Amino acid sequence: MRVAVTGGGGFLGSHLCEALLRRGDEVVCLDDFSTGDPANISSFLEDPAFELVRGDVSRSVDVPGAVDAVALRGGPATVRALPPSSRSSRRTGSVAAARSFR
């Protein structure tokens, strides 16, 4: 699968990226590094199965190609940008996907 991980450059997100890569998935990491540290993902950058897209997912980020799944990680900014009715975890993932994966 090709999995997009928002906030993939953060503490938890980078561990998720690592786990996905280890099980054989392709990973598209979306992060604006507002709180994350690029060092968290530096060891993945040479991996052809890993792609980094820098940008704010609460706005809109161009993600090249199709993705099979979206895993939402990120700080409060990601959630605050969404309508209150969409803040359950499942709906948040859907709305983030709609904004960034057109």
Ligand X SMILES: NC(=O)c1ccc[n+]([C@@H]2O[C@H](COP(=O)([O-])OP(=O)(O)OC[C@H]3O[C@@H](n4cnc5c(N)ncnc54)[C@H](O)[C@@H]3O)[C@@H](O)[C@H]2O)c1
In the complex, the residues that contact ligand X under the rule CB under 6 A are: 6-7, 9-13, 30-36, 56-58, 73-75, 77-78
Residue 98's SS3 state is helix
Cβ closer to ligand X: 26 or 57? 57
- Nearest approach in angstroms of CB 97 to ligand X is 13
- Nearest approach in angstroms of CB 44 to ligand X is 14
Handedness of CA 11, 68, 19, 47 (dihedral sign): negative
- Nearest approach in angstroms of CB 74 to ligand X is 4
Length of the chain: 102
CA 38 – CA 65 distance, rounded (Å): 23
